[in-house]
Structure 1
Amino acid sequence: MSPPYKREHYQIGIICALHTEAAAMIAMLDESHPTLPPQNDDPNKYSFGSIGDHNLVIACLPAGNMGNTSATTVANNMKRSFPIKFGLMVGIGGGVPSKKSDIRLGDVAVSQPTGPHGGVFQWDYGKTEQGGKFHRSGTLNKPPTALLHALQSLKIHDINKGIPLEDALATMATNNPRMVEEFGYEYQGADEDRLFHSAYDHATGETCEDCDVKEVIKRKPRKNTIPRVFYGNIASGNQ
């Protein structure tokens, strides 16, 4: 039986922008914890649990309120309610493949300071200079040293033994079959992983069903569907 948890037991905060992201994050918990009563001045709604030895408190942005301002408000409320030491933003992103990083649908991107950036930079923040050139100036500080040490250990383990993402996803599907059967929380297949030329102007609509298949870049098939982990800068923005 789990011990009675109090607010001081939660020092790692997870924030998700979308409810679909929060649902996946909650499903990845090793153990779920009972909900704690809310603070009078905190409108956030929280989920509680643990992964390994780490207790986590999870919050999602309010429905229909996206962007940095909303995320900042949720984070500040979380910090007032819990003694948060580390905060993580977890969710869905659009990969930017390159010759060095052949990122595909379903892969994982982990923020890591690279070059002049601290691991995350705001791609739509800056000023337009003479000649119409946009100069980006939005960047965040590097993560705490403790997290960078943990990241280095993760990368070493990834090389030596690999990260058991496939096992974690299989466990999630077994424990939460409705997520797979009704909401499609599973690998969508290589046919859905289509990379178009960057200059291509996509057809209107929520999917690429009507887009020109001649603009799809041909890529070498992978040997398996196990997700890979990539490390580097992550672009964030309000647009």
Structure 2
Amino acid sequence: MADQKHIVIVGAGFGGVTLAKELAKENVRVTLVDRHNYHLFQPLLYQVSTAVLSASEIAYPTRQFFKNNKNVNFYMSKALDIDQERRVLITKHGEISYDYLVLAAGATTNFFGNESVARNSYAMKTLQEAIALRGHLIHEFERAARKCGPDQWEARQRHLNFVIVGGGATGIEMAGALMELIDIFKKEFHTIDFKEVHVTLLEAMGSVLPMVPPDLQQHTID
């Protein structure tokens, strides 16, 4: 309808999808923009990266949320810029005019200014990053399995030491899931001495899970 306001939302994460669902009940037009055509359940990325879940189990087609909402349109493209004077969102595939614009594009991995960590580590914010990390973990064990000679200990160590940076909820969950994956691999990689496998969790604060009470921190450590 001509008198409907047009609201453009950038980002089909939790915030963007929730807002679009609420606005779908109103007399407005909504365009939801995202570079991917799926909604990602980010809290379970660590389970994809450790082969517990498949990618399809945490990625849901965004259009499915709004199949009964004719006033909500999904537009798959990457947002590039905003022309505030013209009230236009510029995307990789064209321009979208708006009455109101909501930016809900999410966040990127925070390396806290540590360029070495950023350069030499695997992030875990996107589905592609989780899949890449899963492939890396599995291939490190495959590489170690080929270096089974007694004189290849140092070479094996390059593949069997895993460091997780960040002792928050995701880091703790990742460490636990990685240990479970290692338990599975113990039955499959017969040439690896799993006493040589080490998982190290690094946290800059005084304890893991610094956002929870001390008794829960200690329970996690125990």
Larger radius of gyration: 2
Ranked by relative contact order (alpha carbons within 8 Å, sequence separation 6 or more), the top structure is: 1
